Amino acid sequence: MDEETRQVLFSKYETGRMLGKGTFAKVYYAKHLVTGESVAIKVMNKDQVKKQGLMDQIQREISVMHLVRHPNVVQLKEVMATKSKIFFVMEYVRGGELFAKVARGRLKEDSARKYFQQLISAVDFCHSRGVSHRDLKPENLLLDENEDLKVSDFGLSALPEQLWNDGLLHTQCGTPAYVAPEVLRKKGYDGARADLWSCGVILFVLLAGFLPFQDENLMKMYRKIFKAEFNCPPWVSAEGRRLISKLLVADPARRITIPAIMRVPWFRKGLLSQPIENNREEEEESGGEGGNNNSSENSPSNSIPGSTKISSPKFFNAFEFISSMSSGFDLSSLFETKRRRGSIFTSRSSASAIMARIEGFAKGINFRVGKVKDFKMSLVGPCEGRKGRLSVMAEVFEVAPEVAIVEFTKSSGDTLEYAKLCEEDARPALKDIVWTWQGDTVCNGNGTVNGYVEDHPIQSQSLM
């Protein structure tokens, strides 16, 4: 794709000028042909990604960006692929990097505080989802047309499954001037605490106009980082210096936490009376099938009434089945707003047997089971979580006479708690009725194939 040539991708997006270029990717401005919405599309060469062994990293970045949907995080809208390329369609952020603003000189304290408040809001949300960014710096903080901050570039981020047996991360990564001392020591580190060190460096840069740890000799710079040896210039207020000194603490166990940051008077100045919340995710998840709009379907009760007679479950479209079970890179279905994201498995058991097993599983973990309608039931958690009580819808769809799809979707509650329910509770409890889980290899005599042809993702294939 040449930066001067306009192209239409997947009959959806018209590409324009190049916005940036990295080692393995180019980013282009584009417009949605129907809505006119501006987006940024990151294009990666599959062969280069595979040669460098980065395929797992790309898949992890997709998972992370889908997980951390927050007003101060750049939104990943969809992911597409051809035989040779991978396309990330992302929110277009017009204002450029915060680095460009800082490069012109230090910011006024009120401006620096606003960006720091938004940074902490985004980082707090990432950490609540088990995500450590690991490369926070002004170059990865973008500004939109309203001068609001957006965290970007989750290519080095980490998820809980990357923790070693000691519960720590061990991969050295990040940008030297912003990296925490414990990351440099190669003895394992807490990703969330390391992120807060980087936030401290960013706050220093915003208020001072230069880096706290800098030296032409890299080893001398590292020694300053190990000792947390820095000096705030006189123009930084006493309150700002105090907060920086609590963030840039060499011992991560003594470093200030996000709840403590949010109680600091300097941080709270000018903050909205209601803290910034992740309303975007809740809005997206409140609509569509399986939502909370029908109180009769979602009101919890102690048992499933046996009087409702249903002839057969809903039919599940074959294309949806292929898309959800595909291990390829056409992950558009993850970002569709018409169907809420969920966990899916296939089964060769009868619909009534599946429903009975799900009911037994739910009661076994003290979830309340709601009413059934068209092979659908609601499961409500026993206690309050981070975002209220977890509520999950379970629905059975018919694919073929001897094949059923079971889909769990979150109606309310915390996304991370929902993911743990699916992975740690449902998977082992229901394994005897499961044929395959979403994303696992489908083994059958018919040889289901997933793949792509150049510039045209396969749209549908026969199931039988």
> What residues are annotated to the active site?
135
Q: What dihedral do alpha carbons 50, 140, 189, 276 form, nearest 10°?
A: -120
Q: Which sign, positive or negative, has the C-alpha torsion 259, 192, 23, 50?
A: negative
Give the type of residue at 258. Answer: I
- Estimate to the nearest angstrom the gap between the alpha carbon of 32 and the chain centroid: 23
> Measured between alpha carbons, how far is 315 from 317 in angstroms, rounded to an integer?
6
Residues 6+ apart with CB under 8 A from 120: 199, 258, 261, 262, 267
- Estimate to the nearest angstrom the gap between the alpha carbon of 311 and the chain centroid: 39
Give the type of residue at 278. Answer: N
DSSP-assigned letter for residue 132:
B
In which residue are the tokens 């990296």 written? 179
| Strand 314-315 versus strand 388-400 pairing type | parallel
> Measured between alpha carbons, how far is 331 from 327 in angstroms, rounded to an integer?
9
- Local structure of 225: helix, strand or coil: helix
> Measured between alpha carbons, how far is 306 from 357 in angstroms, rounded to an integer?
15
What tokens were used for 110?
């009120």
